[in-house]
Amino acid sequence: MGNTSSMLTQYDIEEVQDHCNHTFSQQEIVSLYQRFCQLDRSGGGFISADEFLSVPEFAVNPLSQRLLKMLYGLNFKEFVAFLSAFSSRATLQQKIEFIFKVYDSDCNGKVAFSDMLDVLRDLTGQFISEQQREVGFYHKFVSIFYFSYA
């Protein structure tokens, strides 16, 4: 499975299914493998940042640089596990863990106020000032927290 020129065996497919908690069917895994091989133009068994950025939908995503950090050096099995958070069969826990990793900018296992501001900065770019971003986020956060526990 490390060599992208080879075909997946039934064992490989089942191993990938187990690794991603069966969020993809066997046919979906075969399709994902074909797409992985298309993206892996170097044939090294990994998809580089440039290869990921060749996907237009990924390249224009404001969080693409953040996602690239998560994708760096993934082989096919890890690639499928990464994508499993987007599957309709993924559990809420899997989706939350994925989102947490996106927001945990410094990879310290915590999402701090600064991490949230980093994500907002990525999403809003130069459209709002840093002060507007901080004040707006703080007020929104306080109101959500207050109404959630009131």
Model-level pTM? 0.70
Give the tokens for residue 40: 């892996």
Query: What is the number of H-type helices and E-type strands within the chain?
Result: 9, 0
DSSP state of 6: S
Give the tokens for residue 124: 């809003």
Q: Which pLDDT does position 145 carry in this prediction? A: 52
**Grouped pLDDT means (10 residues each) for the chain, 150 residues:** 65 93 94 92 87 84 82 87 91 90 85 80 71 60 52
- Placement of tokens 């002060």 in the chain: 131
Q: For each of the domains in the chain, give its residue range(s) and CATH number, in order of start.
A: 1-89 (1.10.238.10), 104-150 (no CATH)
Give the tokens for residue 140: 């929104």
Q: Which pLDDT does position 5 carry in this prediction? A: 43
The one-letter amino acid at 91: T
User: For the residues of 48-79, what is the DSSP string, one character each?
Assistant: -HHHHHTSHHHHT-TTHHHHHHHHTT--HHHH
